[in-house]
Amino acid sequence: MRDLIIAIDGFSSTGKSTLAKLLAKELGYIHIDSGAMYRAISLYALENGMIDGNQVNEFELLPQLEFMDIHFELNPDTGKNEIFLNGENVEEKIRAMEVSSKVSLIAKIPEVRSFAVNLQRKMGEKKRIVMDGRDIGTTVFPNADLKIFLNASAEERAKRRYEELLKTDTPATFEAVFQNISERDHIDSTREISPLKQAEDAVLVDNGKLTPQETLAEVLAIIKGIS
């Protein structure tokens, strides 16, 4: 099979990262979680007092972007690529509800998106990658070899996210998770810069009733069809 760039886009909690990780492992590719990059920047802003309610202090944040070291490292114990921010593994910190509630505010800032997209494109120069996010097939890699757009109902996505949080030290109510997902859907799909939308040449996969393994099997069949 030829070397591919595979772009996976979709709404929050559709299982993009789960699919991307499984797919990368199956193909022997590198998985890059673009959403984790925006979460890392959001974490930095929160920890440094740059977010007040729904207002981001861009005057303070933007000059710091060029000094942020954001990269992924393979965890030999889990076999997963985990994100590091300025030398610290923040893979668990960025999944907290506090970060989830602010990440769309950060991700809609044009300078932040430009910074992240440049990093993502650099990571994909050698191909053989699976990258997931919200604008990978439309903005980051518009010429990707395969584009997948995942979708599921907001209720199903909230249920998945809620069940994930129950296993962590930062649980939340289902109502709070559903509200967060609904708000993020609106912000992501209506923002001025790189709004979330299905690329014209993307393959739509509704995995609302599919397990992660069933979703993987469906995408592998699509890949087999283009190889």
| Strand-pair category, 80-85 with 88-89 | antiparallel
Q: Is 197 annotated as a binding residue?
A: no
Q: Is 16 annotated as a binding residue?
A: yes
Q: Is 13 annotated as a binding residue?
A: yes
Q: Is 167 annotated as a binding residue?
A: no
Token pair for 55: 């207002």
Q: Is 33 helix (H, G, I), strand (E, B) or coil?
A: strand
Q: Is 108 annotated as a binding residue?
A: no
Q: Is 168 annotated as a binding residue?
A: no
Q: What are phi and psi of 85, to 5 degrees?
A: -125, 115
Q: How many CB atoms are closer than 10 A to CB 127?
A: 14
Q: Is 15 annotated as a binding residue?
A: yes
CA distance 38 to 22: 22
Q: Is 143 helix (H, G, I), strand (E, B) or coil?
A: coil
Q: Is 17 annotated as a binding residue?
A: yes
- Annotated binding-site residues for ATP read 10-18
- Annotated binding-site residues read 10-18
